[in-house]
Structure 1
Amino acid sequence: MTTPNTIVKIETFRVPPRWLFVRVETSLGIVGWGESTLEGHTEAVEGACADLASRFVGWDAERIQEIWQHAYRARFYRGGPVLMSALSGLDIALWDIKGKRLGVPIHNLLGGAVRARIKVYGWIGGDRPADVVEGARARAAQGFAAVKMNGTEGLGWVDSPDRVAECVERVRAVKAVGLDVGVDFHGRVHKGVAKVLARALEAVGPLFIEEPLLPTQPEEIADLAKMVAIPIALGERLYSRFDFRPYLERRALDIAQPDVSHCGGISELYRLAAYTETYDVALAPHAPLGPISLAACMQVDLVAQNFFIQEMSLQMHYNEGADLLTYLVDPSVFAIKDGYVEALTGPGLGIDINEPLVREMAAKHAEEKPWRNAVFTGPDGALQEW
């Protein structure tokens, strides 16, 4: 008879630079780690995680899908960034526990890897060609062969064609370094400007344009998809397969970017991989977060036939005293070579979290105000999308 493996403790740790880690411990002494980071909404997610802890301590940690369904459906109100981020952290931790108990990586439990390594990209910032070129060269030195950059720096919600040309020149400058480039619109511009900018970028040939319009505009994004030849990517602000449905049915996107820490964890990311594949849509998970989030994404990337590329927040610098590698016992698991990271092969998530350091950093910063995103305004002073 199988020894019961019940949940005995669920804890959250708010750690620099802006992450929320979830630790789940079972009656067999197995510890699993998840990540519920939702930038700028830390306290709300902490409250939702506390609610999950009050409900699921004492449950069988092996019954991941039963816990997922109860967490999602049993309280009538469901979905949205806060509840789904809390559920994501718990789900990731439970998969980590199951893999550790069985001594295999999570991707083995999902059917086994179809690839040996993961193609990755990093972010670069800057509002001048010289700035983005410097950032691109730094990313290339880290081993990246692809980057993502802001395509709307300096643009107002509605703006002139001349300003659009400046944005295109920044993208062209990065391409000249020899890297593939994704261009993020952040949903910052009006659909008229988005059309002009997307058309202008066609001559440069980016990998994709991301969130050309806000995720509240599936019809308008579908219209844009019919007008331009550049693949359209979105999904970081969609929180389940149900949120993706209108975009898929309208043929509005080419690359799906769900975030494993927002969309319901490994369980839902795996379902989304299969769901989007039926529409011939590629998978490129959003992950500008911590090491647990990245490792969780990689477990699904390794088994998803439609996987394309993985975001990776290996920072060139952080002022907050921590980065992607800080909380890992062995940072080499995320080593980049020729634009790829090798498959994670350890049990569970395939990473070892430095728990003493997590506890130390969480205690050290416990009295500080949680991280808040920057507020951007246009030339006229009006609020812009982050």
Structure 2
Amino acid sequence: MASPSHRDALREPRYSRGIQRALACTPHPSASIAGSTRIARLESFYVRPRWLFVRIETEGGVVGWGEGTLEGHTEAVQGSLADVARRIVGWDAMNIEDIYAYLYRHRFYRGGEVLMSAMSGVDIALWDIKGKVLGVPVWQLLGGAVRERCEVYGWIGGDRPADVLEQARARKAQGFTKVKMNATEALGWLDSPHALDETVRRLEEVKSIGIDAGLDFHGRVHKPMAKQLARALEPHRPLFIEEPLLPGHVNELKDLYNKTTIPIALGERLFTRQDVRPYLEAGCIDIIQPDIAHAGGISETRKIATMAEAYDVGVAPHCPLGPLAFAASLQVGFATPNFVICEMSWQMHYNTGGFDLLTYMTNPEVFAVRDGHIDLLTAPGLGVELDEALIRAEAAEAATLPPWSNPVFRGPDGAVREW
């Protein structure tokens, strides 16, 4: 058998002239009509299992779709989107940076998860429009492809992790080479050390079938337990530990970082470059995980990635969400040198009631997992085609139901614990 270096040498001629992907560019007919790219209307649709889609249409009839899902805060984001729609109808959809700067900077109060999620849905939809008007995928607009496929991972175990071995086997059969699972159930601020034993056992089980696993501490593990858990896991080499402490504890995270060799990832609850900056400057993370549906969409996620590259930090988008957020994350990944892997919500534990990642798509084949990767998306815009009639019908029904809210964890004394 050839050595790894020899195999690499054999493959090298394929890239002797870089990434080759010949695509014909066919602009939309409205591209040649002055004023046709002005925003005519903005709509939002809450659809199950827990997603908020944004639809923007131009005067020339081009429709762009985005996602502003903020789990557990749907109505707040919908209210913000109503305000945004009032402000930007009539603006040129092609001027994405101008619209982003206006929505973010033209208010005395800025940032935060609600406004940034609303802006994310709008921003993603605008990039989708721009790609469709010009007839190119979004990654072309971001500087072109630096890879031919993006690595992805699936979830196992659920909120209260169990049956992880069988689920890991199922994921491996689906084509995944990496998975993620919650590290623990609810934990007390200071819990029994034995409460961590099952976490180690689950990781051992999953790795026994030849698949790598990241462990999501989910902010459930406070400092007294986090340092114990990191040390217990270290001999078993998880892919990463995610959000080992709650956001905001930069100095505490730095202390933990210096106690372990396990890569540390976080970022789903950081919403701008300003939020990310202290973690990069402190040198306390290895992987940044912006959520494109919370962090300002494609525009801000790409800027976070560029800033992270200067600190030798990789980018692994957080994305337990719908097809639009996933496609947008992949578009950034295709054009970003320090991209490492992306979360994928296909058959995730939150996707219940017959609603899943592919439910609203008419071209689900573009998300086929092959050897742990998703191939380059080549259609104009985000590369995702949606069943608009289904979305409208589902949104009308979902509007009569309470939106999704996260479970509430309590300890044996009745006190609320971190979910």
Normalised to the residue count of structure 1, the TM-score between the two structures is: 0.97
The offset of 1:321, in angstroms, is: 2.4
2:210 matched to which residue of 1? 178
| 2:2 equivalent to 1:3 | no
Letter in 1 for 2:150: I
1:158 matched to which residue of 2? 190
Tell whether the 8 Å contact from 1:329 to 1:352 is kept in structure 2 after alignment. yes
Structure 1 segments of 4 or more deviating over 3 A? 126-130
| 2:104 equivalent to 1:48 | no
2: CA distance, partners of 1:139 / 1:154: 25
| 2:375 equivalent to 1:342 | yes
Letter in 1 for 2:326: L
Deviations 1:101-149 (A, max 9, x none): 0000000001001000010001111589861111111211221111111
State the identity as a percent: 61
The offset of 1:352, in angstroms, is: 0.5
One of 146, 152, 169 as aligned partner of 1:137: 169
| 2:319 equivalent to 1:281 | no
| 2:322 equivalent to 1:290 | yes
Letter in 1 for 2:173: A
1:200 matched to which residue of 2? 232
Tell whether the 8 Å contact from 2:187 to 2:417 is kept in structure 1 after alignment. no
Question: SS state of the match for residue 277, structure 2?
Answer: helix
Tell whether the 8 Å contact from 2:216 to 2:241 is kept in structure 1 after alignment. yes
1: CA distance, partners of 2:327 / 2:342: 11
Task: Give runs of aligned pairs for residues 1-386 of structure 1, distance below 5 A.
Answer: 3-4=34-35, 5-125=37-157, 131-153=163-185, 155-315=187-347, 318-386=351-419
2: CA distance, partners of 1:179 / 1:138: 11
Tell whether the 8 Å contact from 1:231 to 1:255 is kept in structure 2 after alignment. yes
Deviations 1:78-101 (A, max 9, x none): 001000000000000000000000
1: CA distance, partners of 2:347 / 2:137: 26
Q: CA RMSD in A?
A: 1.4
Deviations 1:176-202 (A, max 9, x none): 122110001111122121001001111
The offset of 1:308, in angstroms, is: 0.6
Change (3 A) 1:69 1:60: same
Tell whether the 8 Å contact from 1:295 to 1:350 is kept in structure 2 after alignment. yes
2: CA distance, partners of 1:128 / 1:301: 30
Tell whether the 8 Å contact from 2:72 to 2:406 is kept in structure 1 after alignment. yes
2: CA distance, partners of 1:128 / 1:177: 22
2: CA distance, partners of 1:133 / 1:126: 13
Tell whether the 8 Å contact from 1:45 to 1:86 is kept in structure 2 after alignment. yes
Question: SS state of the match for residue 258, structure 2?
Answer: helix
Letter in 1 for 2:167: G
The offset of 1:252, in angstroms, is: 1.1
Deviations 1:332-361 (A, max 9, x none): 010001111111110000111111110111
Normalised to the residue count of structure 2, the TM-score between the two structures is: 0.90
The offset of 1:154, in angstroms, is: 5.2
The offset of 1:160, in angstroms, is: 2.1
The offset of 1:153, in angstroms, is: 2.2
Question: SS state of the match for residue 235, structure 2?
Answer: coil
2: CA distance, partners of 1:312 / 1:264: 19
1: CA distance, partners of 2:227 / 2:312: 24
Tell whether the 8 Å contact from 1:127 to 1:154 is kept in structure 2 after alignment. no
Letter in 2 for 1:11: E
Q: Gaps (5+ residues) in structure 1?
A: none
Tell whether the 8 Å contact from 1:17 to 1:323 is kept in structure 2 after alignment. yes
Deviations 1:52-71 (A, max 9, x none): 00000000111100000000
2: CA distance, partners of 1:20 / 1:246: 30
Tell whether the 8 Å contact from 1:36 to 1:85 is kept in structure 2 after alignment. yes
Change (3 A) 1:273 1:18: same
Tell whether the 8 Å contact from 1:325 to 1:331 is kept in structure 2 after alignment. yes
1: CA distance, partners of 2:415 / 2:157: 22
Q: 137-146 or 275-284, which moves further after superposition?
A: 137-146
Tell whether the 8 Å contact from 1:234 to 1:255 is kept in structure 2 after alignment. yes
2: CA distance, partners of 1:220 / 1:60: 45
The offset of 1:320, in angstroms, is: 2.4
Tell whether the 8 Å contact from 1:154 to 1:163 is kept in structure 2 after alignment. no
